[in-house]
Amino acid sequence: MAINWDETCLVCGTETKQRCSKCAEAGISLGFCSPAHQQLAWNVHKRVCGPGKANPFTWPLLTKDESREIIEHMDESTGHLIDHSSDRSTVAKALLHFWASRATKRSITKGAPEPPDDKRTRHKLQQINLIVRAHEWARTESPHIRWNAPPADPFMSLPYWDLYSACEWPFQRRHGAEPWRARYLHYMLFFEERIDKARFQPVFCAPNENVEMARIVARLHTFVDTHIAPVYPLVGAQLYESLAKHENVLRILGVSPPS
C-alpha cells in the first residue's frame, strides 16, 4: 500500500494520525508519532509552531545581537559570499539586488515597533528577513565543508537553501506564498537539523537511522514529484539536485539513504 506522506511523523517518517495541535490551528497538518519525537523536534519546531508562524512558514525575527552583528558586517565579503556575483557579494548588496533597498534591520528585529498589519507588508518583511538571514549565513560560513564545525543554526542555513535551491529565477515577489512552500520548509527544517546533529550525536546514527532517513528522503522526493515539479519544473529540478547533495552528505556520515 502506498504511503500517504502527508500523514507521517515529521521526525521519523512513519505513518501517524497524531498532529501538532497548534499547527493544526494554523491550517497545516504536521504529524508526530509520539511525544518523544515531538520533544526531539521541539528545539527548532517551537520557533515556527502555531498560528502566525507555521502557515505560511514565518522566519523568526532577528535577535538584537543577530541584528547588531549583521549591521556591523553587512558590507563585508567573506565565507561563501566570496563566490557570489559582485551584485550579491555582501549582505548590503544582496538587499539592493533583491529589493533595491538597504532595508533597515530594525523592522525584522525583536522589540521593534510593530509594522502595519497588512498582508503585503508582512510578506515584504518576511522576504527581507529571508534575504538577510541567507546572506549572513553565507558571510560567516566557510566555503569548504568542515566536519568539526560547531552545530549550525538551521534558521540561518535553511534560508540560504530556500533562496538558492528552492527559488524561481529571476526572484519572484510571490516567493514564500506558494501553497507548497510552508510544508516543504517544515520538512526541510528538521531534515537539516537532523543531518547536522548526526555529526555529533551517536543517537542519531542508531541502527534504525537508515530506515528513518530513507523514509524522510523518500517523503521529500515524493513531495517534489507531486506538489512542486508539475507546477514549477525549474524549482523541482533545483530541489532534486539539492536532495542529491544532501544524500551524499548522509553517505559520508555513514547513513545510507535510498539509492
What pLDDT was estimated at residue 197? 75
Q: In the numeric block, which cell numbers belong to residue 199?
A: 555529526
3-state secondary structure 142-206: CCCCCCCCCCCCHHHHHHHHHHHHCCCCCCCCCCCCCCCHHHHHHHHHHHHHHHHHCCCCHHHHC
Q: What phi, psi does 31 have (nearest 5°)? A: -95, 150
Per residue of the chain (259 residues), give pLDDT as tens.
Answer: 456 888 899 998 999 999 999 999 999 999 999 999 999 899 999 999 999 999 999 999 999 999 999 999 999 999 999 999 999 999 999 998 887 655 555 567 776 666 667 788 888 889 999 999 999 999 998 765 555 666 678 999 999 999 999 998 878 888 999 999 999 999 999 888 888 777 666 544 455 677 788 888 899 999 999 999 999 999 999 999 999 988 888 787 777 665 5
Sequence-ordered list of residues with C-beta below 8 angstroms from that of 70, at least 6 positions apart, any chain: 62, 91, 105, 132, 136
Alpha carbons within 13 angstroms on the beta-carbon side of residue 86 total 0
pTM: 0.89
User: Per residue in 137-162, is it b (16+ CB within 10 Å) or e — as a string?
Assistant: bbbbbeeeeeeeeeebebbbbbbbbb
Q: In the numeric block, which cell numbers belong to residue 31?
A: 504529524
Contact 255, 207 (CB under 8 A): no
Q: What is the DSSP letter of 113?
A: P
SS3 15: strand
Contact 31, 2 (CB under 8 A): no
Measured CA angle at 116 (ends 114, 121), to 5 deg: 110
